[in-house]
Structures are given as C-alpha cells and as structure tokens.
Structure 1
Amino acid sequence: MYLVTFRLDPGEYNAEFHDLNDAIQAAAEDTEGYLGKRTWHAPEGEELLVVYYRESLDGLETFGADADHEEAKQRWTVWYDAYEITVTEVIESYGSGFGDDADPPA
C-alpha cells in the first residue's frame, strides 16, 4: 500500500477551484487501486493534510496524468499559498484498529 500525503497551506478558493477539485476527486476514486482518503486540519493554523491510500504506484501514475489533475498542478498558485506531496510505501501497519474508521478507509 502507498500513502500520498498532500500538505497544503490554503489560499483563496473560488467556484472554479471547487469544480476542479470535485472533478479531481472523482478521477482519483475512478482510478484503479484507490482505497480512500483522510483529511486533517491543523488545530493551530490553516495547514491541511490530505492522505490518499492507494494499492500501487501504477494507479498513482495514471491519476497523476489525469487532465484535470494536470491543470490543477499547473495552477496551484491561484488557490494555495504552499503545498508539498510525499509518497510513502507502507511496510507494516499494526494496532488495535479503529472500527469503522480503520485505515485504509473503506
């Protein structure tokens, strides 16, 4: 399993952002190997973390080439003050579990 962490400092969102964001989320969900996502907001500021769960790098590469996703990557300065992407391979995961909120999200 792979985790793709999208760390961002949001700027100003407009209707165009929301439309593009919805299209990107739909493309992510439709790409083979998508397992779900989790979102966290920093309690002390605006920073946001979105973690996407994927089965393979192949699906991630396919999603990365999506036309809406490509457009958003080119125009990030319109909506974000800063961003960072981290791709992590999960070697092991263990613990007591979280019931319906267990990772990866269903």
Structure 2
Amino acid sequence: MFTSTFTFAAGDYDAEFHALDDRIAQVARAIPGYLGEEAWENANTGLISNVYYWDSMEALQQLMSHPTHREAKQAQARWLKGYQVVIAEVVRSYGDGGIPHPLRDARAD
C-alpha cells in the first residue's frame, strides 16, 4: 500500500479552483486501487494536508499521469502559496478500531 500526501499553504481560491479540485477528487476515487483519503489542517502553521491511500504504486501513478492532475499541477501557483508532495509505502497500519480509517480493512496487526 502507498500514500500520496499533498501538503500546501492555501492562497486565494476561486470557482475554477474548486471545480478543478472536485474533478481531481472524482478522478482519484474512480481509479481501481484507490482506498480512501483524509485531510488535516495545522492550526499553528495554516498548512493543509490531503492524504490519499492506494493499494499499489500503479494505482497512484494513474492519478499522477491523468490530464486533470497535470492541469492542476501547472495551475497551482494561481491558488496556493506553496506545496509539497510525499509518496510513501505503508509498512504497517494498526489501531483499536475506534475510529474509521481507509486502511482499516487492509491493516496487518
């Protein structure tokens, strides 16, 4: 399993940003191998992180090579004050089951 974490400093959003953001989310969710996502905001820094979970690198690469993703990457400076992407392999996932999580069904306790 893999994660793609997109961390960014928000800028000025407009209707075009929201439309493109919605399209990317729809594309990601339609890719076989998409497991789920989470979003986090750091109140101290103002940074926002979106974490997408994938069952394979191939599934993740489908999103990265999709035209909508490339369009967003080219236009990001219009709406964001900076960003960072981290791709990681999940070595282990566990918890007590008290909160839902995209990897809950796939975890190795």
Shared fold per TM-score greater than 0.5: yes
**Aligned amino acid, residue 29 of structure 1:** R
Query: What residue is the counterpart of 1:24 in the other structure?
Result: 24
| 1:75 partner SS | helix
Q: Does 1:82 align with 2:102?
A: no
Aligned length: 105
CA shift for structure 1 position 10: 0.8
1:105 CA displacement = 6.8
Bigger drift between 41-50 and 13-22 goes to 41-50
For the residue of structure 2 that corresponds to 1:85, the secondary structure is: strand
In the TM superposition, structure 1's runs of 4+ consecutive aligned residues that sit over 3 Å from their partners are none
Which whole-Å deviations, capped at 9, do the CAs of 1:26-85 have from their partners, x for residues lacking one?
Answer: 000011100110001112232101110000010111111111111001111001101000
Q: TM-score scaled to structure 1, two decimals?
A: 0.91
Structure 1 residue 98: Cα displacement: 2.8
Contact 1:35–1:105 at 8 Å: present in 2 too?
A: no
Contact 1:7 1:50 in 2 (8 A): yes
Report the aligned-residue RMSD.
1.6
Identity %: 34
Unmatched 5+ residue regions in structure 1?
none
Alignment of 1:14-93 (within 5 A): 14-93=14-93
Task: Please report the TM-score for the alignment, with normalisation by the length of structure 2.
Answer: 0.88
SS, match of residue 13 in structure 2: coil
Instruction: Work out the CA distance in 1 between the residues paired with 2:15 and 2:104.
Output: 28
